[in-house]
Structure 1
Amino acid sequence: MSAAPASSRFAFPIKVLPEDIDFMGHVNNARYLNWVQDAVLAHWNKLAPAEEVASKAWVALKHEITYRKPAFLEDDVIAQTVLERYNGARAFYHTVIQRGEEVLAEVKSSWCCIDAKTLRPARIGEHMREFFFPEGE
């Protein structure tokens, strides 16, 4: 298990689309989970080596979300995600969805790394630590 501090914060810009808006005129709550998935996968794709990106996939195991404020169609929204730690095939993320300085939602999530061919859980190797938890950060 990782004893290292959390990875650097990864910023993922979000475009609010008309289809994200529900009958109450704001972003549907379920859409936030899509944003978290998009942010986590973008984080992996940006930092992991190409061979790891090609050979691994991710499935969500658990999301714990706290909604703070609604988002609307014209909002500039960003998801700030941090890989807190990983252990075996599991990775644990904390994502904050914001509009400027306002926190719209906070999400704690756990993910399972799987082999892209066999679709079985795949251990996240210790060699990945250097990409996600570089020394000095």
Structure 2
Amino acid sequence: MFRHDISVAEQDIDTMGHVNNSVYLRWVQDAVVHYWQSMAPAEAVAKHLWVALKHEITYRKPTFLNDRVVAEVIAEKVHGARSFFTTVVKRGEEVLAEVRSSWCCLDAVTMRPTRLGQDVVARFLTD
């Protein structure tokens, strides 16, 4: 599991006084990309980009300004150029949102879908 600290900014708050639902998408994007950058070898990071294909978000509790929030990211599986993640957004032990997402790995030069090497996939699924 990878832990990514989240800062709740004033512009994240909507008219109802809590974090707008759309902000969670940015948080998941940041968390998954930082996970990739932290676990993959530098040469793999330089050669690959990620694009989100699908996010399925279950909101559990609202998030407010000044909350201390963390995203916990788990790589579930890799299939071809696609990878599947679960991200849990938490305030302490409280689950604020659960996100299941699928991503496509792209070659950074051609911008075409590409498979990761087995050595990189092994790191993805065991770290």
TM-score (normalizing by structure 2): 0.96
Gaps of 5+ in 2: none
Contact in 1 for aligned 2:78/2:121 (Cα 8 Å): no
Q: How does 1:54-69 map to 2 (within 5 A)?
A: 54-69=46-61
Residue of 105, 111, 114 corresponding to 2:106: 114
Match of 2:30 in 1: 38
State the match for 2:81 in structure 1.
89
Structure 2 distance, partners of 1:23, 1:129, is: 42
2-side partners of 1:46 and 1:63: how far apart? Answer: 22
Contact 1:112 1:121 in 2 (8 A): yes
Q: Which residue of 2 aligns with 1:14?
A: 6
Alpha-carbon RMSD across the aligned residues, in angstroms, is 1.1
Question: What is the alpha-carbon distance in structure 2 between the residues aligned to residue 114 and residue 129 of structure 1?
Answer: 14
Aligned length: 127
Distance of 2:43 and 2:121 partners within structure 1: 15
SS in 2 for 1:27: coil
Does the 8 Å CA contact 1:87/1:124 hold for their aligned counterparts?
no
Aligned partners of 1:133 and 1:77: how far apart in 2?
24
Identity %: 58
Counterpart of 2:69 (choices 77, 94, 109) is 77
Q: How many angstroms apart in 2 are the aligned matches of 1:91 and 1:103? A: 23
* Aligned equivalents of 1:25, 1:91: Cα separation in 2: 34
